[in-house]
Amino acid sequence: MTATQTTINQFQGIFSGYQKGYGLLIGYKQNGKKDAIWRLGNPPIVKHITGEETIGISPYNNSKRGCRYIGIDIDTEVPPQEFCSYMWKLNHQIFPFMTHNGRWHIYIFFDDFIPVDAATKQIEDLKKKIKKDKSTWKIDH
């Protein structure tokens, strides 16, 4: 996949998180869990968009002192219809994304940066509700 400057700019605008480091997926361990390392420096957005590298960015933007989005990993394989239906009923602002391994990431985006404590509270409230409704789903960071 090629990355146009427009695509890069849009991605950076949407996922404007931590800019001093990022997680880099280097493979999978024998037990199937991700093997990742932490790298200092600006996240390589182009390499991520083109599929050359798989990275993870913290939603905390140090220069803005806040978060423009929150995200939660749901490490359970759930059929798309069931998962997306539940998320829509839970909160119309949730954007669900199926990961490359058939599991899920959910995101909520904000118009402006919000304080970290407000973002953390929203994450905890969402996790609590999902755990109550879907006790068999494995909810991660």
> In this structure, how many other beta carbons lie within 10 angstroms of the beta carbon of residue 26?
11
Dump pLDDT digits (tens) for 98-138.
Answer: 988 899 999 999 999 999 999 999 999 999 999 999 999 99
Residues 97 and 107: beta-carbon distance below 8 Å? yes
What do you get for the CA distance between the two ends of the chain, in Å?
A: 29
State percent of the chain over pLDDT 90. 74
Dump pLDDT digits (tens) for 16-43.
Answer: 899 899 999 999 899 878 899 999 999 9
Threshold 0.75, pTM exceeds: yes
Q: Which residue has the higher pLDDT, 66 or 13?
A: 66
Which segments within 18-94 are labelled E, that is strand?
Answer: 21-28, 34-40, 55-56, 60-61, 66-74
Confidence at residue 1, expressed as pLDDT on a 0 to 100 scale: 67
